[in-house]
């Protein structure tokens, strides 16, 4: 099972809000997920990124692959280098 750390879009039309989740790579973007590890609000100034660093590091050490966007967000949040 390929596990990914990726964004799940929630929120209204034209008002995006994302949950940072750990999910099976084969599941749909807004489908079932294993665990929520943070949130991302791109509409605030500056963008609000809330991440549970311990959970993210645990999943990364277990082999989860972050998507490119999540990789950038984790870098901004100071979780990864």
pLDDT in tens, 36-70: 999 999 999 998 999 999 999 999 999 999 999 99
Q: Record the tokens describing residue 31, joined without a space.
A: 């489908």
Q: Record the tokens describing residue 22, joined without a space.
A: 């750990």
The full 3-state SS of the chain, as one line of letters, equals CCEEEEEEEEEECCEEEEEEEEEECCCCCCCCCCEEEEEEECCCCCCEEEECHHHHHHHHHCCCEECHHHHHHHHHHCCCC
Range of the domain at 31: 3-77
CB 64 within 8 A of CB 5: yes
Q: pLDDT digits over 4-45, tens only?
A: 999 999 999 999 999 999 999 898 888 899 999 999 999 999
What is the count of structural domains for the chain?
Answer: 1
What is the CATH classification number for the domain harbouring 37? Answer: 3.30.1320.10
């Amino acid at each position: 099972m390929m596990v990914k750390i990726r964004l799940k879009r929630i929120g209204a039309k034209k008002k995006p809000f994302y949950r940072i989740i750990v999910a099976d790579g084969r599941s749909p973007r807004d489908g079932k997920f294993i665990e929520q590890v943070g949130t991302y609000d791109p509409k605030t100034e500056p963008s609000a990124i809330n991440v549970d660093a311990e959970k993210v590091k645990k999943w990364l050490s277990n082999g989860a692959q972050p998507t490119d966007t999540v990789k950038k967000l984790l870098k901004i949040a100071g979780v990864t280098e």
